[in-house]
Structure 1
Amino acid sequence: MLQGLLGIFSGLITPVQTAVNTRLGRSIGSPLRASLVSFSVGLIAMLTLTLLLGPYPLIPATAANGPWWMWFAGVFGVTFLTGNVLLLPKLGSLKTVIMPVTGQIVMGLLVDAFGWFGTTAQPISPLRIAGAAITLVGFLLAVAGPNLRLRPAIDRPAGGSENSGDSEKSETDGKAVHVPGSATVLWSCAGIAFGMCSAVQTALLGKLGVALGSPVKASLASFVVGLISLAIVVAFVDRTYSLGDALKKGNPWWMWVGGLLGATLVMCNAYLSAHIGTGMTVMLVLLGQVGGGLLVDRFGLLGVPRKPVAGIQYVGVLVAIVGIVLKAM
C-alpha cells in the first residue's frame, strides 16, 4: 500500500517538474539547456545527500559484481528526455504523450514477464495482460479524451484520410507542421521506442540500487552519467551552453528547483523498481503523472495556462486505476 502511494507520489512530481523546467526553458531559450541545468542541480543535491547519509565507501565492493549495463540508466533517461523534445514538432503534443506512454507500459510488461535486466520474472497471465491493456486505455482517455471525436465519413476527403495528400498535420505551439505520412509512422514508432527507454531506465535503476546498496547512490550514479550524456547532446544540438536570460532579475526562484524534483523521482523509481517490479512502478508513476497533469491544467499551477478538464479524463484515471489493480492481482 505504502509503495503504491509512493509510486503515485513520484508520478505527481513529473508534471510539476515539467512546468518548472518549461519556465526555466523560456528564460534560457532552450529546453535541452534547461534540462542540463536541472540535471546539474539534481546532481549537486544527490551528491550532498549521499555524502551526508553514506554509508561509506560510497562505491561498495559489491558494485563490482553488478553487470556493466546497469551504469547506463542515466543514458536511457536522457534518451527519453531528448526524444520528447524531438517528437513534439513532428507529432504534436498529444501523440508526444501517447506514444511514449504506450512504450513504457509495453516494455514494463515485457521486462517483468521475461525477467530482463536481472529482474524477477513474473509470468504473463491473461489477467496481467488485461490489466495492462485497461491501464493503457485509461491513460489514453485521460490524455486524449477531449480530442476524441467521431467524425462522419462525409467530413473526410476521398481516400479516408483527414488530411489531403500523403501528409499529416501536427499541432505544436499553435503552428501547423506538415509531416509526410510515412515519416509520421516512423516518428510514432520512435515515440514508442523512447517510452521503452524510460521503462528500461527504471529497471536499471532498480538493479543499480541493489548493487550499490542504496537508491540514493543509484540516483547519484544515474545523474552523473545522465549529465555527461546530456552535455554531449547539447553540444551537438544547441552548440552553446548559454543560460540566456535565466540569471536576470524578475525570474521566479522556483524555476531552479526542477533538479530537486527530478532527483526525488529517480530515487523513488530506484527503490520501487527493486521492490515491486518495473511494470508496476511504471504504471503507478504514470498514474500519478497523468493525475498530476490534470491538476496542473485544472488550476493553472506554476504559470501553466488554466485548461478545462473534461469528465472523460477523470473517467480515464479511474479506468487506469482498475487496470493497475488487475495487473497487481
Structure 2
Amino acid sequence: MLSLMLGVGVGIILPMQTAINSRLRMVVDSAFISSMISFTVGTIFLIFGSFITAGSLTVSKNVIVHQPWWIWIGGLLGVIYLTGNIILFPYLGSVQTVIIPVLGQIIMSMLIDNYGWFASPTHSLTVTRVIGAILVFVGVLFAVALPKLLQTTKFKDSPVKVQPTGANWLWRMTGILTGALSAVQTAINGHLSVIIHSAIKAAFISFLVGTLTLWLIVIIKERKISFRRLHLKNTVWWNWCGGVLGAFFVCVNAYLVPIIGTGMVVVILLIGTIAGSLLVDHFGLFASKKNPVNLLQVIGIVIMITGVSMIKLL
C-alpha cells in the first residue's frame, strides 16, 4: 500500500513539472531549449543526490562489461517520448496526443510484466489484469478526452494539419510507439537501479543521457546554443525547478519497478498524473489557466482507481 501511495504521490508532481516547464518555454521561446534546461537542472540535482547517498557517480567495471547494452538508453527513450509528443501535437491535436501514448504505455507495460522483458518482475497477464488495464484507459478517457471533446463542440480545438487519407493512422501508431517506449524506459531504469544498487544513481544516468541528447538536438536544430532570447525579467524562481521534480519522478520510478512491477508503476503513475493535472487546472497552479474540475473527470479518477484495484488483485 505504501508503494502505491508513493507512486500516486510522485505521479501528481509530473503535471506540476509540465506547468513549470511551460512557463519556462515562454521565457526561452523554444520547447527544446526549455526541455534541455529542465533536464540539465535535474542532472545537477541528481549529481548531488548520488554523491550524498552513494558516494560517487561511477559504476563498476563489471556492470559495464557484463550487463546488456540497453540499460544505458533509458534517458534516450525519455527524450524520444518527449520529442514525439511535441511532433504529434500539430497532427493529432491536444486530445489524441494525450490519449494515444497512454494506450501505448498501458499495452507495453502489461506485456513487459507478462514476459519479464528488460529483467522486470513477472506478473502473468490474467483476465482480471486485462480488465483492470482497460478500466484504467477508460478512466483516462473520462478524465481527459471527454471533457476536451465537449469543449471542442463550443470552442475550436488546437489546429490540426490536414493529412492524406491514412496518414492520421500512421501518426496514431507513432503515438502508441512513443508511449510504449516510455514504458520501456520505466522498466530499464528499474533494472538499472537493481544492478547498481541505487535508484538515485540510476535516475542520474538516465537524466545524463537525456540531457546530452537534448543538448545535441538543440545544437543541431538551433545551429548553436544561445540564451540571448531569455526574458529573465519575466521569470520567478520556480520557473527553473521543473528539472528537480522530473528527477524525483524518475528516481521514484526506478525505485518502485523492482517492488511492484512495470505495469503497476505505469498505471498508478497515470492516476497520480491525471489527479495532478486536475489540481493544476482547478487551482491554476504555477500561473496556469484555471479550469474547474467537472463530474466527468471525477468519474474518470474513480474508474481508474477501480482498474488499478483489479490489477493489484491479479
TM-score by length of 2: 0.93
SS at match of 1:242: coil
Report what 2:45 is aligned to.
45
Contact 1:14-1:265 at 8 Å conserved across structures: yes
Residues 206-247 of structure 1: CA distance to partner in whole angstroms, max 9, x if unpaired?
011011110011011111111111222223333332235435
2:170 is the alignment partner of 1:186: yes
Contact 1:33-1:243 at 8 Å conserved across structures: no
Once the two structures are overlaid, the 10-residue window that deviates more, 278-287 or 249-258, is: 249-258
Instruction: Tell me by how many angstroms 1:58 deviates.
Output: 3.5
Residues 47-106 of structure 1: CA distance to partner in whole angstroms, max 9, x if unpaired?
111112224574135523422211111111111011011111111111110011111111
Contact 2:51-2:57 at 8 Å conserved across structures: no
Q: CA 1:53–1:176 in structure 2 vs 1: closer, same or farther (change >3 Å)?
A: closer
Report what 1:17 is aligned to.
17
Report what 1:241 is aligned to.
225
Q: How does 1:1-329 map to 2 (within 5 A)?
A: 1-56=1-56, 58-61=58-61, 63-64=63-64, 65-148=66-149, 171-172=157-158, 175=159, 177-246=161-230, 248-329=232-313
Q: Work out the percentage of aligned pairs sharing the same amino acid.
A: 40
Q: CA 1:208–1:321 in structure 2 vs 1: closer, same or farther (change >3 Å)?
A: same
Unaligned runs of 5+ in 1: 150-169
Contact 1:62-1:211 at 8 Å conserved across structures: no
Instruction: Tell me by how many angstroms 1:253 deviates.
Output: 1.3
Instruction: Tell me by how many angstroms 1:176 deviates.
Output: 5.0
Q: In 2, distance between residues paired with 1:218 and 1:271?
A: 9
Report what 2:153 is aligned to.
none
SS at match of 1:35: helix
Residues 17-65 of structure 1: CA distance to partner in whole angstroms, max 9, x if unpaired?
0000010011101111100000110111101111122245741355234
Instruction: Tell me by how many angstroms 1:120 deviates.
Output: 2.4
Q: In 1, distance between residues paired with 2:275 and 2:83?
A: 23
SS at match of 2:162: strand
Q: In 1, distance between residues paired with 2:86 and 2:26?
A: 14
Unaligned runs of 5+ in 2: 151-155
Amino acid at match of 1:5: M
Report what 1:161 is aligned to.
none
SS at match of 1:40: helix
Once the two structures are overlaid, the 10-residue window that deviates more, 244-253 or 106-115, is: 244-253
Residues 98-138 of structure 1: CA distance to partner in whole angstroms, max 9, x if unpaired?
01111111111010011101112211111011111111111
Amino acid at match of 1:59: V
Q: In 2, distance between residues paired with 1:223 and 1:84?
A: 18
Contact 1:63-1:211 at 8 Å conserved across structures: yes
Contact 2:50-2:56 at 8 Å conserved across structures: no
Contact 1:91-1:171 at 8 Å conserved across structures: no
Question: How many residue pairs were aligned?
Answer: 308
CA RMSD, aligned part only?
1.8
